C-alpha cells in the first residue's frame, strides 16, 4: 500500500461497494446492525421497484454475484455506486452515497398544532424512494467502546449539517451509518468533534457526502428537491411533543 492509498480501501463492482481493512471492528445502524469484527463492510444498490423482504438471502446473492465474500456489515441504498465518493484525513477514511428523493424535514416551528396524544394521522412507514444517505467511516485508531459508538453521532451530525447546507433538510427516511476502527491501533478514549478522530471524521463526511450528492444529481441531470413537500417521497415531522420537567427527588 502506497502513502497515497487510503487505509480503508474501497472497490465497486456490480452495484456493490466494498470497504476493506483486515480485522476491523464495525458498528452499524443499518440492517442486521450492531457490533461485529470483519475484514470488510458493504454498500449495496437495490434496483427500481425492489421489494425483497428476505434481506439476508438477498445480500448473499448480491455479494456472490459481485464476487465478494459474504460477511461484514451491509447497507442498502437506491443510489448507484457510481455516485459513491470517498474522503480521507489523518487516521480517518469515509465513503458516502447520497440521494434525497425521500427527504425527512424537521421544521423548528411546525404548522401542525395537534396534541401529542392525537397526532392527526395514522402511523406508517414512508416509501423508500430512490434516496438514502449511507456513510461508511473507518479509522486506524483503536477507539474505546463509547468512542466507537459516539463516532456514529459525529458522522450523523456532519451528514445532517452538510445536507442542510446543500438541500435544506438534515437527512432522509432511510439513512444509515457504519463506523469501524482498528483494535490494534493507537488508543483513543474519545471521538468527539474536538478530538483528532472527530475533526477528521466531520471533514471526511462533509466532503464525501457533498461530492456524492453532486455526482448523483449531475448524473440524473436534475437538482435535489427544494423541500420535503416537493419530493416524491418526502416526509416532515410536523407534530409536536409534550415538554415536561423531570421530577425533583427530595431525598437526593
Residue 73 CA, chain-centre distance (Å), reads: 12
- 164 inside domain: yes
The separation between the first and the last C-alpha atoms of the chain, rounded to the nearest angstrom, is 58
- 236 inside domain: no
- Digits of tens for pLDDT over the chain (252 positions)? 444 579 999 999 999 999 999 999 999 999 999 999 999 999 999 998 888 999 999 999 999 999 999 999 999 999 999 999 999 999 999 999 999 999 999 999 997 655 444 433 334 444 444 679 999 999 999 999 999 999 999 999 999 999 999 999 999 999 999 999 999 999 999 999 999 999 999 999 999 999 999 999 997 788 888 888 888 788 999 999 999 999 998 875
CATH (domain of 204): 3.60.70
List the domain range (segments joined by +) for residue 191. 9-116+129-221
Grid cell listed for 163 = 445536507
Q: Decide if 144 contacts 189 (C-beta within 8 A).
A: yes
- 247 inside domain: no
- 123 inside domain: no
- pTM attached to this predicted model: 0.91
| Element (DSSP H or E) covering residue 205 | helix 196-220
Residue 198 DSSP code: H
Question: Of how many residues is the chain composed?
Answer: 252
- 202 inside domain: yes
- 141 inside domain: yes
- 30 inside domain: yes
- 2 inside domain: no
Domain count, the chain: 1
Amino acid at each position: 500500500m502506497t502513502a497515497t492509498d487510503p487505509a480503508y480501501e474501497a472497490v465497486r463492482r456490480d452495484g456493490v461497494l466494498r470497504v476493506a481493512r483486515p480485522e476491523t471492528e464495525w458498528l452499524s445502524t443499518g440492517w442486521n446492525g450492531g457490533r461485529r469484527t470483519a475484514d470488510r463492510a458493504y454498500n449495496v444498490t437495490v434496483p427500481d421497484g425492489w421489494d425483497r423482504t428476505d434481506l439476508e438471502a438477498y445480500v448473499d446473492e448480491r455479494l456472490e454475484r459481485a464476487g465478494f465474500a459474504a460477511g461484514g456489515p451491509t447497507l442498502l441504498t437506491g443510489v448507484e455506486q457510481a455516485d459513491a465518493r470517498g474522503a480521507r484525513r489523518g487516521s480517518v477514511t469515509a465513503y458516502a452515497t447520497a440521494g434525497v428523493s425521500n427527504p425527512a424535514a424537521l421544521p423548528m416551528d411546525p404548522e401542525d398544532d395537534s396534541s401529542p396524544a392525537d397526532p392527526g394521522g395514522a402511523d406508517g412507514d414512508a416509501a423508500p424512494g430512490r434516496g438514502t444517505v449511507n456513510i461508511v467511516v473507518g479509522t486506524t485508531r483503536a477507539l474505546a467502546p463509547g468512542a466507537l459508538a459516539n463516532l456514529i453521532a459525529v458522522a450523523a451530525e456532519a451528514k445532517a449539517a452538510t445536507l442542510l447546507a446543500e438541500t435544506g433538510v438534515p437527512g432522509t427516511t432511510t439513512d444509515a451509518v457504519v463506523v469501524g476502527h482498528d483494535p490494534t491501533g493507537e488508543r483513543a478514549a474519545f471521538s468527539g468533534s474536538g478530538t483528532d478522530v472527530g475533526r477528521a471524521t466531520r471533514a471526511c463526511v462533509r466532503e464525501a457526502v457533498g461530492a456524492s450528492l453532486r455526482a448523483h444529481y449531475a448524473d440524473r441531470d436534475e437538482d435535489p428537491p427544494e423541500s420535503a413537500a416537493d419530493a416524491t417521497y418526502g416526509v416532515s415531522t410536523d407534530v409536536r411533543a409534550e415538554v415536561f420537567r423531570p421530577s425533583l427527588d427530595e431525598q437526593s
